[in-house]
Structure 1
Amino acid sequence: MLDCYGVFIFDAIYTITDEEFTKIRDLIYSKVGINLTEIKKQLLVVRLQKILRRLQMSNFSEYYDYVIGDTSGEALSELVTLISTNYTYFYREEKHFDFFKNVLMPELQKKMQRVGESQIRVWCAGCSTGEEAYLLAILMREYFGPEYSKWDAGVLATDISTRVLEIAQSGIYGMESLKKLPKYISNAYFRTIDEDQVTVIDAVKNDVLFRRYNLMNENPPFKKKFHTIFCRNVMIYFDYETKNKLVDRFATLLVSGGYFFIGHSETIGKEHPDLEYIMPAVYRRR
């Protein structure tokens, strides 16, 4: 018979005590800002039980000690990956990408030509498996066309999860991931591997720099501000205080007039002192 917080694995039943859950929850919150509520206790057990079996651990206290003792950060990265939802696909929330190409890019081009600059800085924060970052790189190529080589355009894509970054860097995706993309884009920027998989062409891969980065870092290492920041469907994991601090930090990392995109299920309100509401889930630095 299963405990209400347990999972039966062959001859083992994994349960988590209130103390163990609190320790792991507090660790996750302090390191990456994700707020695990009490109702996520069973989910935590379900998602971590395979790790406990693999590591031949008998309880979650042993696992907690393992995570905090791992100086490489890989154990924490694996933990965060397992408790997060990394479902995404190309052209998700497509109005954002239409706005990026048809409104933001023409506006940015004019501004940069006036001041004689050519470097376009775009950041995908919480990039997951890379679909968003690659699509933004593709849209910049589409916008500039033959003039693209005259611009220093690229995308910085960051995530705390090593596993999703490895998937992103491979550039390999299932056919289902492309189902919303216009055919002319999928035909031009993807190469078929087999009947189930495609890969992003090398030219686009070279436009995106993937790096591991923790959004809870209060001293971002970036030397220059960004023209655009995408952080979509990431802040749903954060509590009110953490989300507000992060939004304030993003605002300081945007150039004046730079754009900030969040997920449609997220909100930061229309009265932020540094961010002007433009349309649902799109803001501009004042």
Structure 2
Amino acid sequence: MQAMGAWALKPLVELTPAEFADWQSLVEERTGLIVSEQRRTFLEASLSARMREIDVPDYRSYFSKVTDGRAGAIEWSSLVDRLTVQETRFFRHRPSFDFLERYLTARLDQTGVLSLWSLGCSTGEEAYSLAIAATEAITAHGKSIRFGVTGTDISLTALEAARAGSFTLPRLVEVSPVLQGRYFQPGPHGRLTVAAELKERVCFARLNALELESAPMTGMDVIFCQNLLIYFRRWRRREILNRLAERLAPGGVLVIGVGEVVDWRHPEMRPVEDDQVLAFIRETV
């Protein structure tokens, strides 16, 4: 079994420089993601695995297939799942969630409704973490507050897993036993499943980060966009952040992965003074 698995990860052959350039351009054009030379082997393995499944003999033929009209769009959707799903876990980067807890405590004094958004939610861990954080803050505050969390991602396979809400224990290493007992139920094969009361607070939808201008989310109190921007060119990162700033309510907060941007400024956004967190609050009018 191990030998078979190792074989399945090996590319059929190496991409030629011209083929690699074509695939780089296609992936960036359609998703904004950069496939650097360091990720060349990952691209080859991802392409090869899919090509074996559908019996396509070479990279050039597969390139033609994914760019061929409606049928190509369907095949592209299958391929992009392999290229974009990232490993994640609950409460990834704990300082960001510690900051969120402090922010929500203050925000609850100003509103009776909370809207939170996880952009690039992958298989749902971040979106459910936001829901847990909001529930805990509301409970501690003692007010009757309505809230909802939206998780968006480009991968349909990741979104399907997110909606299922079933996770292995390593994904919950940052979740205390108390919170596990409060928000999860035992599932098959040693997995934990998100409790129905929490799951109903979270919805998932497909969204390409290049198409934020058409996203329906507005007036958001919280937007988390972590471990996504690093895959984009610098100018596109700024473009995405500008779009997200427009989606925030006055006083809303945008939380980004530390180190993902270093030179972004926006006239309506104020940086949060915290050495461990990269976040911006939209100024109130």
Q: TM-score range by the shorter chain?
A: 0.7 to 0.9
What secondary structure sits across from 1:63 in the alignment?
helix
Identity %: 26
Listed as ranges, the matches of 1:1-20 within 5 Å are 13-20=12-19
Structure 2: distance between partners of 1:147 and 1:285? 23
Partner of 1:253 in structure 2? 247
Structure 2: distance between partners of 1:177 and 1:165? 16
| Structure 1 runs, 4 residues or longer, greater than 4 Å off | 7-10, 146-149
What secondary structure sits across from 1:111 in the alignment?
coil
From 221, 227, 243, the equivalent of 1:227 is 221
The answer to whether the Cα contact below 8 Å between 2:85 and 2:158 also exists between their aligned partners in 1 is no
What secondary structure sits across from 1:121 in the alignment?
strand
- CA shift at 1:85, angstroms? 5.3
CA displacement, residues 49-99 of structure 1 (integer Å, 9 cap, x when unaligned): 111111111111221122223637443333333233511111211111122
Partner of 1:35 in structure 2? 34
Partner of 1:100 in structure 2? 100
Structure 2: distance between partners of 1:128 and 1:148? 32
- CA shift at 1:48, angstroms? 1.6
CA displacement, residues 219-264 of structure 1 (integer Å, 9 cap, x when unaligned): 2232632111000000010011111111111111111221011112
Structure 1: distance between partners of 2:206 and 2:212? 15
Gaps of 5+ in 1: 1-6, 113-117
Listed as ranges, the matches of 1:1-286 within 5 Å are 13-69=12-68, 71=70, 73-84=73-84, 86-101=86-101, 103-112=102-111, 118-145=112-139, 150-194=144-188, 196-222=190-216, 224-269=218-263, 271-278=265-272, 279=274, 280-286=277-283
Matched residue type, 1:59: D
CA displacement, residues 198-229 of structure 1 (integer Å, 9 cap, x when unaligned): 10001111110100111101522326321110
What secondary structure sits across from 2:57 in the alignment?
coil
- CA shift at 1:39, angstroms? 3.5
Structure 2: distance between partners of 1:71 and 1:159? 21
Root mean square deviation of aligned Cα? 2.5
- CA shift at 1:28, angstroms? 1.0
Structure 2: distance between partners of 1:223 and 1:158? 10
TM-score w.r.t. length of structure 1: 0.87
What secondary structure sits across from 2:214 in the alignment?
coil
Structure 1: distance between partners of 2:154 and 2:122? 9
Matched residue type, 1:266: E
- CA shift at 1:265, angstroms? 3.6
What secondary structure sits across from 2:34 in the alignment?
coil
The answer to whether the Cα contact below 8 Å between 2:237 and 2:261 also exists between their aligned partners in 1 is no
The answer to whether the Cα contact below 8 Å between 2:251 and 2:281 also exists between their aligned partners in 1 is yes
- CA shift at 1:194, angstroms? 4.1
What secondary structure sits across from 1:227 in the alignment?
strand
The answer to whether the Cα contact below 8 Å between 1:156 and 1:208 also exists between their aligned partners in 2 is yes
Structure 1 residues 218 and 126: CA distance shift in structure 2, 3 A: closer
Aligned length: 273
Structure 1: distance between partners of 2:117 and 2:217? 13
**Larger deviation, residues 53-62 vs 80-89:** 80-89
